[in-house]
């Protein structure tokens, strides 16, 4: 139990913890932007196919 507390203390003191959190936040933001862009493209493509189908 003592070694677990020491490893947590080392993790909190070291610079690796905040860096990992920053990378996780950046990755989450990138994923959100990508999903939003994919959804917008999908909606536009669906509308285009619907218009073409209606024209035919």
Q: What per-residue confidence (pLDDT) applies to 30?
A: 97
CB burial of residue 7 (10 Å; 0-12, 13-18, 19+)? exposed
Q: What per-residue confidence (pLDDT) applies to 8?
A: 77
Q: What per-residue confidence (pLDDT) applies to 17?
A: 65
Residues of the chain short of pLDDT 50, as ranges, are none
39-53 residue pLDDT tens: 999 999 999 999 999
Q: What per-residue confidence (pLDDT) applies to 16?
A: 66
């Amino acid at each position: 139990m003592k070694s677990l507390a020491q490893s947590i203390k080392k993790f909190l003191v070291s610079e690796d913890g905040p860096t990992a959190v920053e990378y996780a936040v950046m990755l989450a933001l990138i994923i959100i932007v990508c999903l939003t862009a994919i959804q917008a493209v999908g909606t536009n493509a669906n509308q285009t196919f619907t218009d073409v189908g209606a024209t035919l």
